[in-house]
Amino acid sequence: MTEALKQAPVANEIRHTPDRYYPGARHCVDGKCWTRPGYWVQGTTYTVDVNLGLRKRLEQSCMAQKGYQQVPLQRCSQAEVGQRLASEPQRQPVLTEGTCVWRSPDGQLHILPPI
């Protein structure tokens, strides 16, 4: 992460969406007409880190060079949590399709083995 941050530092740019004009409209019912006036909606201002994508790619490349890879895990259902917590290993379980992840109330992630 540190090396990726050095190679692709945070480079925030301030951007704006343009103001938008909605023109008025003429309405007629039973020969009586009126015109609804147009109006403007102000654009918004936001910030974009233009190096974010490059920094993430550099970080993933660095991790891959060290032998790490990202593995998607499904969320455990509430029923699975109770069953799997009892058998939660002390060591990291082998990741398989049946492995799932659960976030405990204290915010800690638990990778739970298949049933």
Which residues, given as ranges, of the chain have pLDDT below 70?
A: 85-91, 93
- Residue 41's pLDDT is 97
- Which tokens in the block code for residue 54? 């490059």
- Residue 53's pLDDT is 94
- Which tokens in the block code for residue 6? 């050095």
Using DSSP's 3-state secondary structure scheme, residue 106 falls into coil
- Residue 10's pLDDT is 94
- Residue 110's pLDDT is 82
Amino acid at 51: N
- Residue 14's pLDDT is 98
Please, what sign has the CA dihedral across residues 111, 91, 56, 18? positive
Rounded CA separation 38/42 (Å)? 13
- Residue 104's pLDDT is 85
